[in-house]
Each structure stands twice: as C-alpha cells, then as structure tokens.
Chain A
C-alpha cells in the first residue's frame, strides 16, 4: 500500500510533503498539518487527491 501511495503522489510537492508527514509518524490530519506545515484544508485536499489517484491506478491495473 505504501508503495502504491508514493507512486500515486508522483512529483506533486504537496502530496510528497503529506506522505513524508505520515512516514514521520503523523496519524491524523492535524498531525500531518503540524509536521508538514500545510494547512488542514490542504491536508484534506491532498488526502482526497491521493485516494483518488490510488483508486484510479487500481482500476486501471484491474482493467489491463
């Protein structure tokens, strides 16, 4: 799962910051915001974006 998420982030700087914060131990949006310096709203958006990308990739892989 970790690899799929990192892959889904690509080179999006915000998504990479988000992932880095979780790798550093964050387990809630507030902790991610604190560790990454992102605002809570940006954390929400980043999370949704990542979930969307992971799902899209999974769908693509299943189809092929």
Chain B
C-alpha cells in the first residue's frame, strides 16, 4: 500500500493555486502589474541611465580635478627646481632618476655623503642630461 502524497491530500483548487505560485510571470503579466502599480519601466530605465551618466560625469570630474592638482604640484616643483626639497626627497628623486635611467648609475655613485646643495646640483645636472637625451 502506498502512502498518499501530500499533493494528493490537497483539493484541486489548492493544487491549482500551488502551481500558480510556481508559474513565472509572462512579460505581459509583468507589464500589466507594473502598469497597475503606476510604474513606467521605460521612464524608470531612462531615469536609471541618467543617474548612471551623472555618477560617471562626477567620477570623471573628480579624476580631472585630481590630475589637475598633480599637474599644478609638478608645475610648481618645476618652477622651484629642487629648492624646496628636503634631504629625504632629494635622495628619493635621485633614486627615481637612477631607476628610470640605469645608464646614469655608473656616473653617480657614493652621493650619500654629499650635502643637500650638492645633491640639488646633482639632480639639476641629471635632469638636464635626461632632457638632452630625450631630445636626441
């Protein structure tokens, strides 16, 4: 003797309702439900796209502003040369030059004992050499 399934114990109407709960909405049904609720999907999508555009524009503006700050900082540095830099920054800049231009390493060694002014002068010289090399 088989045990009746839970479905078998329910009425036809209950089973029909149960199927109804599991049947996905058709596109037409979904549209009708949204229309009944006063929602216009096309207008909603338009608003969403406009909002995404705004977010994009704000992010772009922020990137430009950041780049502008960096540009101004670099311009100011170029105007001042290496005058405003402290010893740590001078050594850091020297490292950057030496890393980016390994051919210069042999010529500029043992500069740790140099004074800040000597370092500034060295950096200016290196910068000039790099600039000239770039023009070739």
Contacts and interface: CB of A to CB of B under 8 A. Distances in A.
Interface of A: 1-2, 5, 22-23, 25-29, 31-32, 43-44, 47-48, 51
Interface stretch (B11-19, B48-56, B68-76, B128-136): B11-19
Nearest to A50: B16
A46 to B, nearest CB: 9
Interface of B: 5-8, 10, 12-16, 18-20, 22-24, 26, 29
A5 B23 contact: no
B7 A48 contact: no
Sorted nearest first, the 6 A-B pairs with minimum C-beta distance are A27-B7, A25-B8, A1-B13, A27-B15, A27-B18, A2-B12
A47 B24 CA distance: 10
Given A1-B12, A2-B12, A27-B10, A22 B19 contact: yes
5 contacts: A2-B13, A25-B15, A27-B6, A27-B10, A44-B26
Contacts, number: 47
A31 B7 contact: yes
B12 A28 contact: no
Nearest to A5: B16
B17 to A, nearest CB: 9
Contact of A26 (B13, B15, B23): B15
A47 B19 contact: yes
Nearest to A18: B19
Nearest to B10: A27
A27 B10 CA distance: 9
Contacts of A47: 19-20, 23
Contacts of A23: 12
Nearest to A47: B23
